[in-house]
A and B are shown apart, each in its own frame.
Chain A
């Protein structure tokens, strides 16, 4: 167990809808990263939040947005869902110390868009 939790575990939405996924960091961690993992692929970086500010973003459109709260928990919001958004969404928390950072993953949220 990493101490990182995500909710919900599974979700079914229809195309065009909006979804919010939630993540609680491991105690003592100040950074949260979100990844999308399609079936048979490695996780793809969406964005990272450090102390409530976006600290890097991958090649995802603006309809993917996020927040980090003062307690370091985080949300991932996806608007105007498309069929290709169906994937496992992973949250990883970490404590950035100098140049070193080790990310620990939560159990993920499996999203199906119909």
Chain B
């Protein structure tokens, strides 16, 4: 079982719609969770961090954490073409970040 799994294939959403991304993790003791955005050919850019169960909102982004289900999600509201990128879920444990493979999001104008 991989430490961090992002299983969805590329996600195409119309401009203005909501994009929903999911991530599961295996280490039940994990305490810190992050979403990074990575444009093609660029390095990951932090967009959200979440540490407690529930929702955390930052602008058009909402992160949701459910530690009992070992599940983290990211919602992107009012999707814009500039949101087209790969989104990486990361979980901190043992002094390192474990990343998922990433989910590609394409926002169609």
Which residues on A are within 8 Å of B, measured CB to CB?
Answer: 2, 33, 35, 40-45, 48, 50, 55-56, 58, 88, 90, 92, 99-108
Given contacts A42-B101, A48-B96, A58-B96, contact A102 B44 (CB under 8 A): no
Interface mask (B26-47 → A, CB under 8 Å = 1, otherwise 0): 0000011010100000111110
For B84-109 the 0/1 string (1 means CB < 8 A from A) is: 00001010101111111110000000
Ordered by A's residue number, 19 sampled pairs between the chains whose C-beta atoms are within 8 Å are: A33-B97, A41-B102, A42-B90, A42-B101, A42-B102, A43-B44, A43-B97, A43-B99, A45-B98, A48-B95, A48-B96, A92-B97, A102-B46, A102-B49, A103-B97, A104-B46, A105-B45, A105-B46, A107-B43
Q: How far is the CA of A103 from the CA of B98 in the complex (A)?
A: 12
Q: Which residue of chain B has the shortest Cβ distance to A90 in the bound complex?
A: B43
Q: Are A106 and B101 in contact (CB under 8 A)?
A: no
A100-B32 in contact (CB<8A) = yes
Instruction: Tell which of A44, A56, A90 touches B94, judged by Cβ atoms closer than 8 Å.
Output: A56
- A107 to B42 alpha-carbon distance, docked (Å): 6
Q: Give chain B residues whose Cβ lies under 8 Å from the Cβ of A58.
A: 96
Do A43 and B96 have beta carbons less than 8 Å apart?
no
Q: Which residues of B contact A (CB under 8 A)?
A: 4, 31-32, 34, 36, 42-46, 49, 51, 88, 90, 92, 94-102
A56 near B95 (CB under 8 angstroms)? yes
Option from B34, B96, B102 in Cβ contact (under 8 Å) with A45: B96
**Chain B, Cβ-Cβ closest to A88:** B43
**Judging by beta carbons under 8 Å apart, are B43 and A108 in contact?**
yes
Give Cα distance in the complex from A44 to B88, angstroms: 12
Within 8 Å by CB of A42, from B43, B88, B95, lies: B88
Q: Chain B residues near A88 (CB, 8 Å)?
A: 43
Nearest-neighbour CB distance to chain B for A94, whole angstroms, equals 10
A55 touches B32 (CB 8 A): no
Known: A48-B95, A101-B92, A107-B42. 16 other contacts (CB 8 A): A33-B97, A35-B99, A42-B4, A42-B88, A42-B99, A42-B100, A43-B44, A56-B96, A90-B44, A100-B32, A102-B46, A103-B34, A103-B46, A105-B44, A105-B46, A108-B43
